[in-house]
Amino acid sequence: MAGEVRELTLYIQSKKAVTTFYQRPLVAPSVAGGFGAATTTRVGGAPSVAGDAAATSEDRPVYFLSDDQSRAMALTEELAKRRGYRLKIVDVEKAGRLERLVTEHLRGVQTLPVLVGTADLRLVGCEQFTEENIAALMPTELQSVRALSYLKVHGGDLDRIRRLLEGFPEVKELHFLTGDWDILVVLEFPPTTTNKRRVLDFVTERIRGIPEILDTSTLVPEYSVTKFP
């Protein structure tokens, strides 16, 4: 994914505010005829009384998002920035009607917002906009160094071995298996640990320092991508 332009599109739907509040006219007022009859001239139209709030609000409509959609948009923007994605936001309420009808990504959609990712994967509706779901649409390179280590255990107290392994900060996950290997350990190291030997040193010195651990087999990936937050 290095050097690839990664873009997602977020479709939202605002609402047009309906208000009776007076809005300042777009052009300067002019006086026409009668005593004290102040009027304003609208561009390309007949003069109207300065207090005609409906006319001026129609010229300058105000749109707003619901709190749920605002939250979904803010969370998506935050994660996109963090994971190196470019986010395009389209407000379908401001788009032309024909444009909305022919937009492939919105065919059959009843609820907005909609986040469209690669391979046409998408989230539909505010309830789907969780950090986990959004991150799944934005795979990114792991910033830390991960390693997978298989352990063979002989005898001993399994609960004690588990507690010892959990005590290492580098141990992020433990998976107990059946078959040739007994435990799969997921290890995580700071990004500064780029030397594989350091990872293997930890396994041979710390993990195999546990008496019940008879053997280990460790994989250190060359390149890792995650869909998790």
CA triple 110-115-120, angle to 5 deg: 95
Judge whether 7-15+63-138 and 142-224 match in fold.
no
What's the mean pLDDT when you consider all of the chain?
Answer: 81
For 14, counting Cβ atoms within 10 Å of its Cβ (0-12 exposed, 13-18 middle, 19+ buried), the class is middle
Instruction: Please state which CATH number belongs to domain 142-224.
Output: 3.30.70.920
Domain assignments of the chain as residue spans, ordered by start: 7-15+63-138, 24-59, 142-224
CATH superfamily of 7-15+63-138: Glutaredoxin (3.40.30.10)
Q: What pLDDT, on the 0 to 100 scale, is given for residue 113?
A: 95
Q: Is pLDDT at 198 greater than 60 in this prediction?
A: yes
Confidence of residue 16 (pLDDT cuts 50, 70, 90): confident
Q: Quote the percentage of the chain above a pLDDT of 70.
A: 74
Residue with tokens 């190291």: 189
**In this structure, are strands 145-153 and 183-189 parallel, antiparallel, or unpaired?**
antiparallel
Picking from 53-62, 110-119, 199-208, which range would have the lowest pLDDT averaged per residue? Answer: 53-62
Q: Higher pLDDT residue, 31 or 93? A: 93
Q: Give the pLDDT score at 24.
A: 58
Mean pLDDT value of segment 118-137: 92
Cα separation, 59 vs 52, whole angstroms: 11
When pLDDT is cut at 50, 70 and 90, the band that residue 44 belongs to is very low
The answer to whether 15 and 66 have CB atoms below 8 angstroms apart is yes
- Taking alpha carbons only, the member of 6, 11, 2, 217 closest to residue 129 is 11
What pLDDT was estimated at residue 54? Answer: 47
**Alpha-carbon distance 106 to 112, whole Å?**
9
Task: Give the tens place of pLDDT for each residue, 136-190.
Answer: 999 998 888 899 999 999 887 889 999 999 999 999 999 999 999 999 999 999 8
Q: What is the mean pLDDT of residues 62-74?
A: 94
